[in-house]
A and B are shown apart, each in its own frame.
Chain A
């Protein structure tokens, strides 16, 4: 209940947008997710309440986290920066969604929300004010790569929302970066709508500093013949949840997901994915990797839902996990729910540690144990990192993962 009180005291009813009112109303009946529900069962309760402890901040402090300089060809946007975007070029156009369009879309989405499953979105939408919602409509081809930033400032709980419509036949590369400062909480909700024949190469890179928290929710609707590729990386968060919900609304669409989460110290990072095939001929290839060290806890839960209508679906899901310490733990639960009979669905899961034989081989060749482990880890990481679009080299992701604690 506290969180609702906090939102209300932060912003009087008169100042609330209609969306905020609706979401607050929905949250009122059960302010916190049901800890016994499948989606929240393993989530660390004290870490979640710590997430909500920070005071709400709608005004954005200066964005001063160091990040690589921009290439001129890239479009770089910072959510909350109040930027007005209207780029109309020969081949393409990127325009801000009007308030009406935004409201209409969000309202429609809310009607499908389930209290536990979409709790992160409900919280996000009841927190994020007008300035912190970025809505874009993208059209055309040869669009320069786009980078979009969200960040949370120290000692505050920030909420950012991103909504993007990809119109027909449009191809986009987009890197989304979520940064947490010291002692901060970031609630990020993203909604993508991919129209027919459009394709999106999406990268999500999220990392914090010290005691940063993140609730990251991603909702994608794919119309037919669209292609959605996601490469994601989450690390250095005291507590982070990455929820992915993808719906192939008419089938005949392609989805590729490669995600990774790395936990150290006392951290808990979890990934929940739900892929709905609402039409025939859908395709999914998903791999999720976790690495847990020290006393940390990594969680993966993925579900694939194939109703009767989704004949000829081809879906595979793989969860690969490395457990590197005696005190760390990994939970993984890949699941299939299938009614259609003419489908190819499979999933797999492994939990192990670094391959000793490979380590031994490298040591006999004069490579130190530390170096050999790094080599093995870098090949483990590289599969995911290479899938992240837009200037991944400049972000030195591999270096960040291997050389920082």
Chain B
């Protein structure tokens, strides 16, 4: 629970992650073509199969059209005007955190991310990604004792090529959609997690993404594999500096859960959202998908989306294994001129699969917030169930909230329930709180926090507190 003073403090704060770190970076020239892809691959010393994967994806991407079905309006992205690889210049190899550029460490410290292993109390292993490359991954040895592999994807390509070759692109194929194809062609780094059979990951894993440069896009790729009877909780956070240009972020996340495995993936997305006039901000086009391959496997997505000028994101579950479970808990908050089109897809393929969707959308200012979800019961999904609930809250009369649930069933022996509602902050409740001496903005943020409680309960502790703070901060000045 966040105490009231804290909320009050943060309400006054501007976007505090908007600083730029002055650090020497190595960038390649703008533009996208086969040579650039070959250059990225070469810089990362990748094996042949990966280069082929990239080139194939690029060919597909060239033939694809940018999707226009989402309820989003933004100026056309010039894909040739983006730098596809940017890395902080540093010594050849980093063997320990001491060798990391202190400026970088300082950056992550400013962001509140404890990279230094002394801060063991937090018991969270972190993989920090700065622009295109992974800077450091902490707690490696301790994780290795349990057989857990947690490293950047570039390292995984070198050290665990077999796993990468086996699983990369199996959940989100290169040709899946326009942005996934683009990511497959140019992805630069990201995290790789492998939890061996029977292991419950001893600590939460976390990755932290930071865009620093204004003209380079970020294209990270995350791959998490949970072997039989294993479990892991993974947290993801993102920030970016304030620029008045739009930066493209197109990530792909793939999760694979085998028999009895469970993966919990939590995101607090706080990319720079642009200023009040809608200038600048991140274009966030993300493809996240989990595959419940094994029997009784479980994938749970929870997300708090507060940043980005444009959010296009549908974390999904493919429920293949018998009795597998998919969950999606989301809070999406938009303010000023932000636009979000987000939701989930629950594809029930195997029998007795279950899914739950809880989505809370809050729109304030002139923003646009849409829930778009698909629930599909395939012909073999006998005995499956889905429950969805999407609630929207409107603050101010300029904001818009849309709900587009697509529901399709081909299996009579299954049940789908969907409900959605829209409301505003109740004046009676506001009046009551104010009559008890609680200030207006504080009352609003309490009520918003209550509205999102179902989702915050699903977040890991430290994230839940951060999420609460974030919402209060984002709503500053939008009420009354």
Contacts and interface: CB of A to CB of B under 8 A. Distances in A.
Interface stretch (B76-84, B130-138, B286-294, B415-423): B415-423
Interface in B382-402: 392, 394-402
A350 B414 CA distance: 10
A341 B416 contact: no
B412 A341 contact: no
A339 B400 contact: yes
A345 B402 CA distance: 11
Nearest to A315: B422
A49 to B, nearest CB: 24
Nearest to A321: B409
Contacts of B396: 341
A84 B405 CA distance: 48
Given A308-B398, A339-B397, A351-B416, A323 B422 contact: no
A340 B408 contact: no
Contacts of B405: 333-335, 349
A347 B412 contact: no
A337 B416 contact: no
A308 B398 CA distance: 7
B420 A347 contact: yes
B379 interface: yes
Interface string B305-349: 000000000000000000000000000000000000000000000
B352 to A, nearest CB: 15
B403 interface: yes
Contacts of A348: 417-420
Nearest to B385: A352
B401 A329 contact: no
Contacts of B377: 351
A374 interface: no
A346 B420 contact: yes
Contacts of A325: 412
A330 interface: yes
A338 B402 contact: yes
A341 B395 contact: yes
Contact of A329 (B394, B410, B415, B419): B410
B407 A337 contact: no
Interface string A351-383: 111000000000000000000000000000000
Nearest to A42: B408
Nearest to A340: B397
Interface string A307-335: 01001000000000101111111111111
A337 B368 CA distance: 10
B120 interface: no
Given A336-B401, A338-B392, A350 B406 contact: no
Nearest to B394: A341
B409 A330 contact: yes
A308 B405 CA distance: 22
Nearest to A352: B415
A241 B257 CA distance: 42
Which range holds the interface residue count of chain B? Answer: 20 to 34
A353 B404 CA distance: 24
A342 B407 contact: no
Contact of A338 (B400, B407, B416): B400
Contact of B422 (A321, A328, A333, A344): A344
A349 B407 contact: yes
Interface string B431-470: 0000000000000000000000000000000000000000
B284 to A, nearest CB: 22
A363 B417 CA distance: 27
A97 interface: no
B422 A336 contact: yes
A375 B412 CA distance: 19
A343 interface: yes
Contacts of B409: 321, 323, 329-330, 351
B54 to A, nearest CB: 30
Contacts of B395: 341
B424 interface: yes
Contacts of A346: 419-422
B402 A336 contact: yes
A328 B412 contact: yes
A310 to B, nearest CB: 10
B392 A350 contact: no
Contact of B399 (A326, A327, A341, A347): A341
A1 B416 CA distance: 41
A333 B375 CA distance: 10
A125 B82 CA distance: 51
Contacts of A345: 421-422
A339 B407 contact: no
Contacts of A330: 407-409
A339 B379 contact: no
Nearest to B69: A38
Given A336-B420, A347-B420, A326 B398 contact: no
Contact of A351 (B401, B406, B414, B420): B414
Contacts of B417: 348-350
A340 B392 CA distance: 12
Contacts of A324: 412
B200 interface: no
B411 interface: yes
B413 interface: yes
A342 B424 contact: yes
Given A323-B412, A328-B412, A348-B419, A333 B424 contact: no
A348 to B, nearest CB: 4
A245 B403 CA distance: 19
A343 B363 CA distance: 14
B408 A329 contact: yes
A325 B410 CA distance: 8
A321 B404 CA distance: 18
A333 B419 contact: no
A308 B400 CA distance: 9
A210 to B, nearest CB: 26
Contacts of B408: 329-332
A321 B402 CA distance: 23
B413 A353 contact: yes
A328 B410 CA distance: 6
A353 B412 contact: yes
Contacts of B418: 334, 347-350
A134 to B, nearest CB: 37
Contacts of B394: 338, 340-341, 343
Interface string B158-170: 0000000000000
A326 B379 contact: yes
Contacts of B423: 344
A350 B421 CA distance: 15
A329 to B, nearest CB: 4
Contacts of A336: 392, 401-403, 420, 422
Contacts of A337: 400, 402
A313 to B, nearest CB: 10
A338 B420 CA distance: 12
A341 B419 contact: no
A267 to B, nearest CB: 16
A95 to B, nearest CB: 43
Interface of A: 308, 311, 321, 323-353
- A-B pairs with lowest CB-CB distance, top 3: A341-B394, A346-B421, A349-B418
27 contacts: A308-B398, A323-B409, A326-B379, A326-B412, A329-B409, A330-B407, A333-B405, A335-B402, A335-B404, A335-B405, A336-B392, A336-B402, A337-B402, A338-B392, A338-B394, A339-B398, A341-B395, A342-B397, A345-B422, A348-B418, A349-B416, A349-B417, A349-B418, A350-B418, A351-B409, A352-B414, A352-B416
Interface of B: 377, 379, 392, 394-424
Given A321-B409, A329-B408, A351-B414, 15 more contacts: A308-B397, A308-B398, A330-B407, A331-B406, A331-B408, A336-B401, A337-B400, A339-B399, A341-B394, A341-B397, A341-B399, A343-B394, A349-B416, A350-B415, A350-B418
